[in-house]
Amino acid sequence: MTAAQARPAGRLSHAPLLGMALFIASESIFFMTIVVAFIALRPAGLATAKQELEFTKTLIFSLFLFASSGTMTIAERRRDRDGWVWLVVTGILGLVFLTGQGLEYVRLLSTGISPAAGMFGTTFFTLTGLHGLHVLVGLAAITGLTIASLARRGRVTAVGWETVAWYWHFVDGVWVVVFSVVYIGTLIG
Amino acid sequence: MSATTVPTTTTAPTLWVRRPAGAKWAGWLRTVDHKEIGVLYMGMALLFFVFGGLTALTIRVQLAVPENHLVDPAIYDQIFTIHGVTMIFLVAIPVLVGFMNYMVPLMIGARDVAFPRLNALSFWLSFLGGLLVYFSFIAGGGPDAGWFAYPPLSGHTYSTGQGLDYYILGLAVNGAGTIVGAVNIAVTILLMRCPGMSISRLPLFVWMTLVTSFLILAAYPALSAALVMLFVDRHLGAHFFDANAGGDPLIWQHAFWFFGHPEVYIVILPAFGMISEVIPVFSGKPIFGYRFVAASSVAIGFLSMSVWAHHMFAVGMSDAENLFFSGASMLIAVPTGVKVLNWTATMIGGRLRFTTSMLWATGFIATFVMGGLTGVSLAIVPIDWFVTDSYYVVAHMHYVLFGGVVFGVFAGLYYWFPKMTGRLLSERLGKWHFWLTFVGFHMTFLPQHWLGIEGMARRMWTYPASTGWGTLNMLSSIGAGVMTIGTLIFVWNLLVSLRSGQLAGDDPWDAFTLEWTTSSPPVPENYLTVPVATSRRPLWDRKHPDMKDPS
């Protein structure tokens, strides 16, 4: 047995990270499929999109989500001290984003834009809704990590923190794509 | 890992090891052991195989004679739909995932999979998904738009019942289980190999499993996304696939086949892996061109992601698209041909032992080559236009899925059954099983090529006597009857051998790989001491220290 073939000690402790990476890859295909459908059907809904979407307001709410990736990184670095505080901040930023999305939904629905109303409603609510659900799952993971790190301070491994962080960054990254396709795309298209 | 309290059973072994008396059934519900979860998957596959088989027989009875009105046409739609859904999602995938679960940790010298509890979750999601699909029959009628559920037929306008809704929910839940399971298996293979088990020494079944896991991760999410869109269309009145509102039903076809074609390779690659284990052992030789077998699977994996629209030649794509997907589909025959070459070259000059397992493996090669050739013919656009949605396609698909996947699985089952249970399957019954199935299979599906060319459409409920298709259809139905007898013999063999089959011992086949070094069935956590892979054939090395495998 050569050194290269020997199993590095503790390699298995990284299993959750590798698992999360593979899961994220898989999730990317999921979103890619919906995004491609959105782009293919975009012309049919573009006029409504131009009329109804509020670019600036959504951009501001998006900044909260983008910022939350930063606070997540800070939380990870300070996991042995007050990392949980930064987790709470991250969660709040995520909640603000979701609130913004909720307000937008209420506004659109009140003006008669729904998934059934036309192609814009169909594609918009499906794509942003699926992303919103993923944010919700991310928030659940952050809540779980916060509780675990408080209950057993220092016992949650670095890999555990990183695994949750990766998922959160992924959710954030998906929004970069969705925001570009839906909002910037409408603005320039 | 230490050799603590594990008893080494050399005589009558208990099935799938351990567990205190009294906890037998509850134990199956809460187990997180990879071997038991593997058995659960296989049990699930067997259960649904009964339903899939009965629906197949109903189809053959209905089509045996012209102008038959035995089955109501609306029921017939549900029958062929549930037959396809069952065989693909609830039989082929679970039985293969079952083998992966059971064998991969053993073959790479690991104690279990990377995430045992997640593994249990995968199984129960997969099983629950299957139950959800079948619940539609209790709720008022099964899905009836074919297994690929093309809109607008699957939309709320034409599928007014709840059958399609259970199809959507069931396959989404089932798919989630499959995706999570693939993550688990891939991490296991990448991180849990025993000392010496480098990637270039992985048994080929493990190699194929790894490629399959990546394919699952790449393909299944497209199905989930398509199902979400169909669900939104049906329940929120959305218009993804509604051409009247600017939607496009072809988006479903693209998304479905982006999943659906890799799916074909997801189920065939593990079967390739099984016979790549079986053929060398029963030829008494190492596999010919190990690296080619492994590398060609990776090539197949990549290519399989770029051929999906060959299912859509008839929808009117541009010439450029037709050309691309036609070319890519023909290209995939190359790495597949490489494999066939490797298997036959392994057999040439070997000391062949035609055990039942080996019979299935050689039957696999013969049948799969025929299915592969009709596949290449279907990749030629004009031919596809001519025979699309005809019995020619049905014949092709059963040659690769039944003649390929099922034959491969039987090769694997006869080979590994003694490892799982400690007892051999009866070779005498096994040979009856093989020959009846082999003859019955070709009798059933070979005539369907001609029926298709003569214009018999797949899914047609009945046909007029004036078509002259009666004789070939009758022949096909008799073949199905012969296969049924073979299958009943197999079930009998299974039951008898489980109770009183010949004791196998650790290594009944004079095999090469690690799983045969532990007891049959394996002890909890698989090995008493951490095994070491000294080459691609570690057990050979132990038995022949004077001529070790150089790999």
- Residues in chain B closer than 8 A to A44 (CB atoms): 245-247
pLDDT score of B24: 67
Percent of chain A residues topping a pLDDT of 70: 93
Nearest to A25 by CA among B534, B219, B266: B219
CA distance B430 to chain A (A): 40
Amino acid at B246: G
Place of tokens 């001290």: A81
pLDDT score of B27: 81
pLDDT score of A50: 93
pLDDT score of B404: 95
pLDDT score of A10: 63
* More confident call, A155 vs B126: B126
Q: Rounded to two decimals, what is the model's pTM? A: 0.94
Q: How far is residue A175's CA from residue A172's CA, in Å, rounded to a whole number? A: 5
Q: What confidence tens digit (pLDDT) does each residue in A108-152 have?
A: 999 999 999 999 999 999 999 999 999 999 999 999 999 998 887
Q: Does B32 touch chain A (CB under 8 A)?
A: no
DSSP string for residues in B130-168:
HHHHHHHHHTT----STTTT-TTTTSTTT--SSHHHHHH
CA distance B346 to chain A (A): 27
Mutation for B interface: A2, A122, A133, most B CBs within 10 A: A122
Nearest to B516 by CA among B415, B414, B430, B411: B415
Cα–Cα–Cα angle for A13, B515, B273, rounded to 5 degrees: 90
Residue B523 three-state SS: strand
Spans of chain B, pLDDT less than 50: 1-18, 20-21
Q: How far is residue B262's CA from residue B273's CA, in Å, rounded to a whole number? A: 16
Q: Please say if the pLDDT value at position A188 is more than 70.
A: yes
Report the DSSP beta bridge partners of residue B457: B390
From the list B193, B217, B237, the residue facing A116 with the nearest CB is B237
Instruction: Extract the tokens encoding B144.
Output: 């009836």
From the list A11, A29, A37, the residue facing B221 with the nearest CB is A29
Q: Give the phi and the psi of residue B65 in degrees, each rounded to 5.
A: -125, 150
Q: Please say if the pLDDT value at position A73 is more than 60.
A: yes
pLDDT score of A100: 97
